[in-house]
Amino acid sequence: MPPHPETWLRVTPQGLYCEPGGFFIDPVRPVDRAVITHGHADHARPGHQAVLATVETLAVMRARMGEGGAGAVQQPIGPGEVLEQGGVAIRLVPAGHVLGSAQVVLDWQGSRAVVSGDYKRQRDPTCAPFQPVPCDVFVTEATFALPVFRHPPPEGEVAKLLKSLALFPDRTHVVGCYALGKCQRLIRLLREAGWDRPIHLHGALAALCKLYESLGVALGPLEPATVANKAALRGAIVLAPPSAVQDRWARRLTEPVVGVASGWMRVRQRAKLRGVELPMVISDHADWDDLNRTVDEVGAPEVWVTHGRDDALVHALGQRGIRGRALHLVGLGEEDEGGTEAPPATGEGDAAAVRGVAAGTDVAAVSRGEGL
């Protein structure tokens, strides 16, 4: 009888720990041996001794934290490669979240756990698609694990931006998007939709775009968004971190149309409260349907939920006879959509809007500001 994963994969204050292998996955504190799923700062933290990750994730870590911050010893693991550590076979399989993002597949004595990190199932032209791996325990996030969160096709959201540009050709369209992943995905989607003019970047987004290009993701003409030369930005697309689109930086642009690309834009009230004229529901996380579909595809009798709306997901799994377990890992979901966009960071109204959704309030009612 193979050992149950809970006997060899444990929750510790540093994060998930694989005991026979002697390594942590996405630890929140510096450790001797870390396996990192992807480069977002809540998963890839500085100060580890040895780091095992994909080539792309290691490159992202170096770009963001410097050579030293990405681990004293950096060990890349390629597609299809299997590494043995204390009798545990380790594989990294694409998670479809951002460039280099991977699920960690662990096999020990006939028992298999898959730690998926953050993931999505929607098409993303900037990274390899998620690959379901059958397992005994599937470890999942739950950032958007409420039935109200259904992400529409991103092509339609990009079409809204292009339509607005056609309607308001003199206004600068500034779109808030996260620096790692969302920004580059948005650029590629715009290129696919036929936008071949330069796309202007806030300084905080430039370095990772350059890195994506060096790793083979072509982004087309990119230029710095210089507010001093705002006349040149009339009718242009400017991308900036979500925090920057709401501050003075963006207001100095010419009659800006403010957009934000995030799964949270599904909550209309949230967009309104933040002064977002053009909400674009584009997420790098699985929505409710895709979370449930993925669990079904991997066929795991037991699912562990790291962070997010674990209560709703565990309940839904239970109804299908799948044992769900909330791990309550701390420190996750603090950066990308799980973090800067998460409740209740921007005020009570926001928190109330999401609570309304959580309580099962119809999202149309939330968008009308009712039922809260």
Residues that bind Zn ion (CB under 5 A): 40, 118, 336
- Considering the complex, state which of residue 33 and residue 40 has its C-beta at the smaller distance from Zn ion: 40
User: Minimal CA–CA distance to 257: which of 277, 282, 235?
Assistant: 277
- Considering the complex, state which of residue 172 and residue 306 has its C-beta at the smaller distance from Zn ion: 306
Q: Which residue has the tokens 């001797």?
A: 32
CA–CA distance from 255 to each of 170, 173, 236 (Å)? 8, 9, 12
User: 3-state SS of 252-263?
Assistant: CCCCCEEEEECH
* Total Cβ atoms within 10 A of residue 91: 18
177-191 core/surface letters (b: 16 or more CB in 10 A; e: else): bbbbbbbbbbbbbbb
Cβ atoms of residues 92 and 105 within 8 Å: yes
DSSP state letters, 32-82 = SEEE---SSTTTS-S--SEEEE-HHHHHHHHHHHHHHHT-SEEEE--TT--
Give the distance, in angstroms, between the CA of residue 107 and the centroid of all CA atoms in the same chain: 26
Residue 129 Cβ, how far from Zn ion at the closest point, in Å?
16
**315-321: long-range pairs with CB below 8 Å, 24+:** 316/292, 320/296
Residue 66 Cβ, how far from Zn ion at the closest point, in Å?
20
Residue 119 Cβ, how far from Zn ion at the closest point, in Å?
9
Residue 266 Cβ, how far from Zn ion at the closest point, in Å?
18
Residue 41 Cβ, how far from Zn ion at the closest point, in Å?
9
Residue 249 Cβ, how far from Zn ion at the closest point, in Å?
25
Helices (H) and strands (E) in the chain, counts: 10, 19
Cβ atoms of residues 363 and 148 within 8 Å: yes
CA pair distance 230, 254, nearest whole angstrom:
7
- Considering the complex, state which of residue 336 and residue 341 has its C-beta at the smaller distance from Zn ion: 336
Count CA within 13 A, CB hemisphere, residue 313: 33
Cβ atoms of residues 62 and 215 within 8 Å: no
Residue 230 Cβ, how far from Zn ion at the closest point, in Å?
33
Query: What's the one-letter identity of residue 172?
Result: T
- Considering the complex, state which of residue 88 and residue 139 has its C-beta at the smaller distance from Zn ion: 139
- Considering the complex, state which of residue 27 and residue 256 has its C-beta at the smaller distance from Zn ion: 27
Query: DSSP letter at 339?
Result: I
Residue 98 Cβ, how far from Zn ion at the closest point, in Å?
6
- Considering the complex, state which of residue 99 and residue 165 has its C-beta at the smaller distance from Zn ion: 99
Residue 118 Cβ, how far from Zn ion at the closest point, in Å?
4
